[in-house]
């Protein structure tokens, strides 16, 4: 009895209609989970749903424009909120990864409450999936990391939560997305806190710009290599900015620059993962491009850890 | 067939539920303080893994002991569930000399219905600080890994099974086959 996406879609549209007699907003990051949840909720509620995308300033290159386009194509009523200053303000001086995640979760929820109020909604739909609440812990279960859509929620939240994908893993969400005709169904996972958890150490606009530039190179090169048949596209592939400076030499001059870790893993559901075995010629191109194109980076390393013992993201 | 998963707080409890569901079992995750009477009539039970140390801390294992004492249908203990099974039935579990996290290889020494159709060596995923250090009376060890002597055990007569590794995760080879064998056992023990 494998997963039946069409049966799931019919069930959940019905369940969302029952759960939301009024109006709802959906928190939409443009990723597979929240876009899928947005389409489900939009089919259930029509104009009684508003999708809210928040540009946190922690997104990848071109992401906000792309998400706006996707939501438009899917005919989902939506609103784009610019909030980079609020997020960078809240993250100032914070080094601890758990604290980052909680601060971001809280900033999200405040903005969602504001948007819900002006739309007249009393429900919040989220694309929470199984690993989000499992890893966030609670009662017996240990907290591995606070997922922003679970751990950032205040205890006395006014909005009622609706989470149609709660029992699914990524592979099942993708099946639902394909059945719904969602273009981003195969998009790689991207964490809710965005590039903030890919900058180890303090999150500043400058440091986010470094990891954004490196990430763009990693994504382009992996996609190009997979397109040329050099390797299968990993489940997830990205850059992490490390809080480590090392010595380099540029045009006979000593430099003291930043380090990027490249991470690529193969997984089905995100609950276990193995690091991807990447051809050296691909790593070589990534290294050369990052150290030449992203000013300030003079060293690139490749992460060869599995989950467990590591997690996929560094924070 | 109804086989429930007792939640001891593991990261992969929900994966056990998913594998059972995919194999066609009627399944549900239940809290580990669920009364035995509420599990009446089930065809099998999986005792999940748990948060650090719970396998050796009976205070956190709820009614797992009552299930092991009262339940007649097959029980599969995984990680903390396996460690607790050993401890509760008179064996012992303690911090492992070498904890295992991630990829490892198990070797089957004793053929068993649980491993039917599987090769003698295969890749498994681990995530444990504790391990079974002494088998309970009437139990036999079935498999080991380089750093852990008791990767699998079973009772000689009763349908009680323990696994230190995690058959429920995607990266363990033949994991679904182990669950399929367990379900077949639940079917034949009816």
Interface test with A, best of B169, B173, B183 (most A CBs within 10 A): B169
How many Å apart are CA A22 and CA B77, to the nearest integer? 45
Verify that A160 and A32 share a domain, yes or no.
yes
- Render pLDDT for A229-242 as a digit per residue (tens, 0 to 9): 999 999 999 999 99
Q: Are A219 and A225 in contact (CB under 8 A)?
A: no
pLDDT at A152: 66
A135–B11: do the CB atoms touch at under 8 Å? yes
Asked if pLDDT for residue A199 goes beyond 90, the answer is: yes
- Render pLDDT for B63-109 as a digit per residue (tens, 0 to 9): 999 999 999 999 999 999 999 999 999 999 999 999 999 999 999 99
Asked if pLDDT for residue B113 goes beyond 80, the answer is: yes
Verify that A106 and A214 share a domain, yes or no.
no
Verify that A250 and A182 share a domain, yes or no.
no
Q: Reply yes or no on domain B3-188 having CATH 3.40.50.880.
A: yes
pLDDT at A179: 97
* Tokens encoding A148: 């922003």
**Which of A152, A186, A220 is the last residue in one of the domains?**
A186
The domain of A158 spans: 5-186
B102–A306: do the CB atoms touch at under 8 Å? yes
Asked if pLDDT for residue A91 goes beyond 70, the answer is: yes
Verify that A249 and A287 share a domain, yes or no.
yes
A157 or A277, greater pLDDT? A277
Q: Is A311 within the bounds of a domain?
A: no
pLDDT at A151: 67
How many Å apart are CA B49 and CA B43, to the nearest integer? 20
Q: Is A226 within the bounds of a domain?
A: yes
Q: What's the domain count of chain A?
A: 2
- Assess A187–B contact: CB distance below 8 Å, yes or no: no
Asked if pLDDT for residue A308 goes beyond 80, the answer is: yes
Verify that A57 and A104 share a domain, yes or no.
yes
- Render pLDDT for A155-198 as a digit per residue (tens, 0 to 9): 778 899 999 999 999 999 999 999 999 989 999 999 989 999 99
Q: Are A42 and A75 in contact (CB under 8 A)?
A: yes
- How many CB atoms are closer than 10 A to CB A156? 5
For residues A55-91, one letter each, b for 16 or more C-beta atoms within 10 angstroms of the residue's C-beta and e for the rest, the string is bbbbbbeebbebbbebbeebebbbbeeebeebbbebb
ipTM of predicted assembly, 2 dp: 0.85
Asked if pLDDT for residue A251 goes beyond 70, the answer is: yes
Instruction: Domain ranges for chain B, please list them.
Output: 3-188
Q: Is A294 within the bounds of a domain?
A: yes
Point out the residue among A3, A134, A272 whose CB comes nearest to the CB of B125: A272
**Which of A186, A210, A242 is the last residue in one of the domains?**
A186
Verify that A172 and A213 share a domain, yes or no.
no
Q: Is A26 within the bounds of a domain?
A: yes
User: If contacts are CB pairs under 8 Å, which of residues 6-35 in chain B contact chain A?
Assistant: 7-15, 18, 21-24, 32
- Assess B49–A contact: CB distance below 8 Å, yes or no: no
Asked if pLDDT for residue A273 goes beyond 90, the answer is: yes
Asked if pLDDT for residue B51 goes beyond 80, the answer is: no
Verify that A141 and A58 share a domain, yes or no.
yes
A308–B14: do the CB atoms touch at under 8 Å? no
Q: A147 falls in which pLDDT band (50, 70, 90)?
A: confident
Q: Are A287 and A260 in contact (CB under 8 A)?
A: no
Verify that A232 and A271 share a domain, yes or no.
yes
pLDDT at A206: 97
pLDDT at A1: 67
Considering B79, B128, B155, B186, which one is annotated as catalytic?
B79
Verify that A135 and A20 share a domain, yes or no.
yes
Q: Is A126 within the bounds of a domain?
A: yes
Residue B5 with chain A: CB contacts under 8 Å: none
Dmax (CA) of chain B: 41
**Which of A186, A217, A236 is the last residue in one of the domains?**
A186
Verify that A154 and A56 share a domain, yes or no.
yes
pLDDT at A101: 92
Q: Is A312 within the bounds of a domain?
A: no
Verify that A170 and A211 share a domain, yes or no.
no
CATH of the domain at A292: 3.30.300.10
């Amino acid at each position: 009895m494998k997963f039946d996406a069409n049966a799931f879609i019919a069930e959940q549209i019905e369940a969302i209609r029952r759960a939301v007699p009024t109006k709802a907003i959906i928190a939409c990051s443009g990723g597979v989970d929240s876009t899928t949840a947005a389409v489900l909720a939009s089919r259930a509620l029509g104009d009684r749903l508003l999708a809210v995308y928040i540009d946190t300033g922690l997104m990848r290159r071109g992401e906000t424009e792309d998400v706006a386009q996707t939501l438009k194509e899917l005919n989902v009523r939506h609103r784009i909120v610019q909030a980079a200053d609020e997020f960078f303000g809240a993250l100032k001086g914070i080094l601890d990864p758990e604290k980052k995640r909680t601060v971001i979760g809280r900033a999200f929820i405040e903005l969602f409450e504001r948007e819900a109020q002006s739309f007249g909604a009393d429900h919040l739909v989220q694309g929470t999936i199984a690993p989000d609440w499992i890893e966030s812990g609670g009662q017996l279960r240990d907290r591995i990391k606070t997922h922003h859509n679970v751990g950032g929620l205040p205890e006395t939240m006014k909005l009622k939560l609706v989470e149609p994908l709660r029992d699914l893993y990524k592979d099942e969400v993708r099946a639902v997305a394909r059945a719904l005709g969602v273009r981003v169904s195969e998009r790689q996972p991207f964490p809710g806190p965005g590039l903030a958890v890919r900058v180890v150490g303090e999150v500043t606009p400058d440091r986010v710009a470094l990891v954004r530039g490196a990430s763009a190179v990693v994504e382009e090169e992996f996609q190009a290599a997979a397109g040329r048949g050099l390797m299968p596209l990993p489940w997830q592939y990205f850059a992490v900015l490390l809080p480590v400076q090392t010595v380099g030499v540029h045009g006979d001059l000593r430099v003291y620059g930043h380090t990027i870790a490249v991470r690529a893993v193969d997984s089905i559901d995100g609950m276990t993962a193995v690091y991807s075995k990447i051809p050296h010629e691909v790593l070589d191109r990534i290294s050369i491009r990052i150290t030449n194109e992203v000013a300030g980076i003079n060293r690139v390393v490749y992460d060869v850890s599995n989950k467990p013992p590591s997690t996929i993201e560094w924070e | 067939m109804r086989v429930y998963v007792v939640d001891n707080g593991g990261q992969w409890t929900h994966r056990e539920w998913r594998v059972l569901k995919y194999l066609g079992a009627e399944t549900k995750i239940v809290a580990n303080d669920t009364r035995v009477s509420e599990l009446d009539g089930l065809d099998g039970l999986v005792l999940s893994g748990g948060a650090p140390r719970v396998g050796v801390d009976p205070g956190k294992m709820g009614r797992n002991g009552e299930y092991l004492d009262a339940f007649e249908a097959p029980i599969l203990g995984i990680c903390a569930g396996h460690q607790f099974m050993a401890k509760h039935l008179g064996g012992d579990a303690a911090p492992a000399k070498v904890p295992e996290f991630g990829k490892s290889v198990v070797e089957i020494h004793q053929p068993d219905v649980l491993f039917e159709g599987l090769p003698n060596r295969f890749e498994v995923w681990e995530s444990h600080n504790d391990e079974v250090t002494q088998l309970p009376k009437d139990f036999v060890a079935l498999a080991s890994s380089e750093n852990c002597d008791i990767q699998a055990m079973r009772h000689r007569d009763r349908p009680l099974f323990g696994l230190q590794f995690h058959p429920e995760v995607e990266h363990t080879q033949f994991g679904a086959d182990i669950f399929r064998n367990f379900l077949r056992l639940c079917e034949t023990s009816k």
